Amino acid sequence: MCFRFASRCVVRLAVLVFTLAASPSVFGQGAVSFNFDDGYCDSLIHAVWRLEKAGFRATFYPHTSEIGKFGHMTWQDLRTLAAKGHEVSPHTVNHLDLTTLPLTGMQAEIFGSRNEFISEKLRAYSFAYPEGEYNVAVVAELKRAAFLFARGADDYDLNSAATDRWALYSHSLVYNATIEIEEVKKNILRAKQENAWYIMVIHEIKPGPLDGSRPYTVTPEFLQTVINFLVQMHEIG
Distance CA 93, CA 216 (A): 20
DSSP alpha helix (H) spans, the chain: 5-8, 13-22, 42, 48-53, 75-83, 103-119, 136-144, 177-193, 220-236
Angle between helices 177-193 and 220-236 (to 10 degrees): 30
Q: Residue 140 corresponds to which amino acid?
A: A
Contacts of 24 (CB under 8 A, 6+ apart): 161
Q: Which residues pair with 204 in a beta bridge?
A: 217
Per-residue tens of pLDDT for the chain, all 237 residues = 223 343 345 666 665 555 555 445 555 668 899 999 999 999 999 999 999 999 999 999 999 999 999 999 999 999 999 999 999 999 999 999 999 999 999 999 999 999 999 999 999 999 999 999 999 999 999 999 999 999 998 788 999 888 899 999 999 998 665 668 899 999 999 998 898 999 999 999 999 887 777 888 999 999 999 999 999 887 655
What total of structural domains would you count in the chain?
A: 1
Residue 101 lies in domain: 5-236
Q: Please state whether the predicted TM-score (pTM) of the whole model is above 0.95.
A: no
For residue 181, what are the CA distances in angstroms to 37, 131, 174, 185, 234? 19, 23, 10, 6, 18
CATH number, position 174: 3.20.20.370
For residue 119, what are the CA distances in angstroms to 18, 70, 75, 79? 24, 22, 11, 12
What proportions of the chain, in percent to the nearest 5, are helix, strand and coil?
A: 45, 15, 40
Model pLDDT for residues 195-206, shown as the tens digit of each residue = 899 999 999 999
Distance CA 167, CA 165 (A): 5
Distance CA 206, CA 220 (A): 7
